[in-house]
Copies of this chain bind each other. A is one copy, B any other.
């Protein structure tokens, strides 16, 4: 169990005060380091014990078969699975002839600290060997945010009271044994030892291993080199084999003497480049790292992060758990995306193999809002990646007998990898989520160039898809049938409100973008008639409403479906205990769907509708998806259930830090982490941007004293500082001296010269706080009191 004792609540660190092997698996994810290109799980330096050994390179995957007992037309036949690549973080230690292993001897001290300003993971160990020799080990790891292909480890061993002969074996290891990932023997076979050796070479101090995946034919190189500092004699040698390289360092230490090893790692992969090119690329990465030096890498790491925090930090007074957690969230989202550079941001970042390392709509829907407001260059790169898959999405649309482009539900490289279409292909909303992420980027950054570079094509092709998917009925109303909204407990429905609103916005946005870029639109054969058709569909879209109940059904007829029997069936998550054939036609909701529509398309709902809808769906939402709590936080805050919003924020924040979904071992939940930011900024901050204006409407629950957050808006840097009475907007700098925002529904002009303080708008909730399904009330937040 991850407790406050084991993981004390500190504002800028995640500290583990002792080693609890029962949660080793979770800690491997929590302390994972990444720059979006390289990811390393927090496996112990000495390799064992471990839960899941993990070293990942973004988008380096193997192809695996997708089996179907009953196949159907258009089902993808091959999936993509992230591969555990050559492990360079291994440093085995022998004290005299005893291998250092925390399971033997006496572990006198064991602390790990993730420093979110330094960007390092430090481990402090004091260990007494079974024969009584005591050593201190301090290791510090980083995956460089500054040098994309580089990771580095400083490893210091000190003899404490007696002389000790110290041997360190620093390794590169390919094809590590992993826990089985699939019950299907064919899949397991593909992922068992996925790398075939291509090349290996070594010097005295280091080595290079080059491997290739069998089916996807991707080549990767890993290289290591070492700087060694020790008083007295030291012997260094390196051996290599097909699947490993080992640099052995031997010396003797008198009490107080220290052996310091700085291990530099270079990684690269390519689907195109040759073996020599990759070999030289990792050698170059090592050269760069060594030229910069260990301290230089540390300094660059901190500088990168200082710059990030300066315009991303969120300060929360009154709830130290959430304070720590939102920084943890921002840090990991940055790690997942900083240097992804036109690769996908997977749903688990590079912290584990959950969901096969796939990226979903989570990226555009949950992760990119945070990045767009705090690290827009990373958001732009993620969008460029998505746009780079447009041709594959067009092929998929053609296969589906649709026009335009149909982006995949889950993928690494761009091909659809979902083997269950009712919750995959049918979730067409992913296309609007992607299109709207381009639109959000343009609106928030004020940067039109990405639209011209690639966003327009995505807008146009997704609009074309929607027009071919939807239809006007005999009364001229536009419907979209046979789709699945965000809620995966009701699928293949008519007129999902979320989907219809998002599709209509996608259509309008495409039409507007074509007017902004008429030549480019012309190059895509967009005609005035086509634009008219988009606008007409958007204008006539059907948004079902249940007049009797005064709420929006999440899809046509939803509010008339059978009610779920929450007196009997409450084994969560329901999908592990109930078949889809029963879940789908009942009023039970896995995750915010209509409620998410009210966040993203807030202008389409009146305050009374919002209040009644929140009340209705709260009672029927099981939150069996990690994507739900953050959105429930946002909308509970919007309708005035501020304490409940605080609880949901806490739940979103702690999902990984307290392993609430029992699967943190498989990697961190990037969307829910990003959702923690949304819960605070869009929930208590009231941030909305769906009407192309920066709208804020902050208000705090009684349990929080103060909330301060930073944003970028059209190249302005803005700070929002909220307490119970008022909010102070500070326009730090920008392209102009003033900016008009919307505060509590009214325009407000901000000036760079001085902060502007205005009163918060109190809200009286229309309805009392709603009940959740039995057992599904959110965990109560722990305020400091």
Contact = CB atoms under 8 A, between A and B. Distances in A.
Interface string A568-593: 01000001111111101110000000
Interface stretch (A454-462, A473-481, A678-686, A697-705): A473-481
A214 interface: no
A578 B74 CA distance: 7
Interface string A494-508: 100000000000000
A752 interface: no
Contact of A581 (B68, B421, B494, B578): B421
Nearest to A584: B482
A670 to B, nearest CB: 21
Interface stretch (A202-210, A256-264, A554-562): A554-562
Contact of A473 (B74, B401, B560, B576): B560
Contacts of A74: 578-579, 581
Contacts of A585: 481-483, 492, 494
Interface string A541-563: 00000001000000011001110
Contacts of A575: 72-73
Interface in A45-75: 66-70, 72-75
A417 to B, nearest CB: 9
A576 B584 CA distance: 26
Nearest to A402: B582
A179 interface: no
Given A471-B562, A569-B401, A579 B70 contact: no
A482 B555 CA distance: 14
A520 interface: no
Contact of A560 (B72, B399, B422, B474): B474
A400 B560 contact: no
Contacts of A561: 471, 481
| Interface SS majority for chain A | loop
Nearest to A490: B482
A2 interface: no
A479 B563 CA distance: 13
Contacts of A474: 548, 560
Interface in A584-636: 584-586
B579 A425 contact: yes
A581 B425 contact: yes
A537 to B, nearest CB: 13
A198 B400 CA distance: 51
Contacts of A185: 186
Contacts of A94: none
A419 B72 CA distance: 12
A739 interface: no
Interface string A449-475: 000000000000000000000010110
A65 to B, nearest CB: 8
A471 B585 CA distance: 11
A420 interface: yes
Residue picked from A67, A474, A491, A578, most chain B C-beta under 10 Å: A67
A483 to B, nearest CB: 8
Contacts of A578: 73-74, 401
A184 B420 CA distance: 18
Contact of A419 (B69, B479, B491): B69
B582 A401 contact: yes
B562 A481 contact: yes
Interface string A66-89: 111110111100010000000000
A426 interface: yes
A167 interface: no
A418 interface: yes
B420 A72 contact: yes
Interface in A363-407: 399-402
Contact of A70 (B419, B492, B548): B419
A79 B69 contact: yes
A578 to B, nearest CB: 6
Contacts of A580: 72-73, 421
A509 B328 CA distance: 63
A577 B482 CA distance: 18
Contacts of A471: 561-562
A67 B579 contact: no
A518 to B, nearest CB: 30
A55 B124 CA distance: 72
A575 B184 CA distance: 27
Contact of A67 (B67, B402, B491): B67
Interface string A297-317: 000000000000000000000
Interface in A656-689: none
Contact of A68 (B67, B73, B400, B483): B67
Nearest to A563: B471
A248 B557 CA distance: 73
Nearest to A549: B474
Given A68-B69, A74-B578, A492-B581, 12 more contacts: A66-B69, A68-B68, A72-B579, A400-B581, A401-B569, A421-B581, A471-B561, A481-B585, A482-B581, A482-B585, A491-B492, A492-B584
Closest 10 CB pairs of A and B: A482-B585, A69-B419, A481-B585, A74-B579, A67-B67, A66-B69, A471-B562, A70-B420, A70-B419, A425-B581
15 contacts: A67-B68, A69-B184, A69-B420, A70-B419, A72-B575, A73-B578, A74-B578, A401-B569, A422-B581, A426-B581, A479-B560, A481-B562, A482-B586, A491-B492, A492-B581
